[in-house]
Structure 1
Amino acid sequence: MSDPYGQPQPVQPQPVLPQPVQPQPVPPQPGSAPAYAPQPGYVPASGYAPQPERWSSTAAAPAPAGSGGGSPVLANVSFVIGLVLVLLGAIFMLLFPLYYRLDDPYTAIDIAQFVNGGLTAVLGLAAAVTGAIALVRGGRGRGRARASAGLVLGASSLVTLLVSLLQGIMFQFL
């Protein structure tokens, strides 16, 4: 109903609806990925599918040489133990002819082989384990070559020990 005297009617307040926020375009940074991404299955008019980026400024850069997480101490320990293994084997072989000058050479040889085998087992296991730990902890850091050498020297001495034990078992039965 309208007022016959021309009095304005009070205006009913309309509820204010929130307007959706329009994102503002961000200017691309130098060296960053493009702001658009092709839809899956999109093939440009040229017929070639888009190739993924091979380099991105946000990708993790490889660590510089010598910045591995591990310390080279274990690598050095493994390498030194491997060298001790080699020296122990060389000394045992050089002393071998001297055993024959003894009154009972076969007992002396048996004792020397037992001691050599025990030391080889303990030191070989220590070199292999410390070398493996140094390789796993060290990443691409310093000491990788020494850790590898210690691991290989320790493992090869253990393999040699096992083969010599198998040889002894074969001599018992053949």
Structure 2
Amino acid sequence: MLRTLLAHASLPSYFWDHALDTATYLLNILPAENKNNTTPTEKLYHRIPTYDHLRVFGCLCYPLVPSTTIHKLEHRSYPCVFLGYPPTHRGYKCFNLETKQIIISRHVVFDETTFPFANNISPAPSYDFLQTTLSPLLWPSVEFPTVNQPSVQPLHSPQSHPTNTSAQTLTPVSA
């Protein structure tokens, strides 16, 4: 489940510890078939877990910044990446994309269809090297005779035809 969480969100591997914590949390609240569909949390705390607080791992989120820490005209939230559930608080762990800090907040707005790290994937590699490396191998290096072509003149400046037009003869190349 750890690799699946990281891959789905396109998160780098250095977020593995947050993915592991989230996977452990999810496995502890999911029902187990071999234990009469009870959860480990239900066995330990004798209460049925709720699922309404679950969110998509690695999605874009906007945690509310407390008004005591910001100026009146500053932003009230910043774009973050959802990294899971803190073990000691009720709320959500959010990775701030600008400051690279983890924020724990209860008041978070989620965009569960956007994954910020999915946009950082490098573009597809260019295959221009095939043109230069393979073309000498595919085409023999034979000098082909060239014919001098008359230059093309623009339409707005007509010129007279040359009076001396002699055709050049090509000698066949013997193999």
TM-score range, shorter chain: under 0.3
TM-score normalized by the length of structure 2: 0.22
TM-score normalized by the length of structure 1: 0.22
Higher radius of gyration, 1 or 2 = 1
- More RCO (CA 8 Å, sep 6+): 1
The structure in which a higher percent of residues are strand is: 2
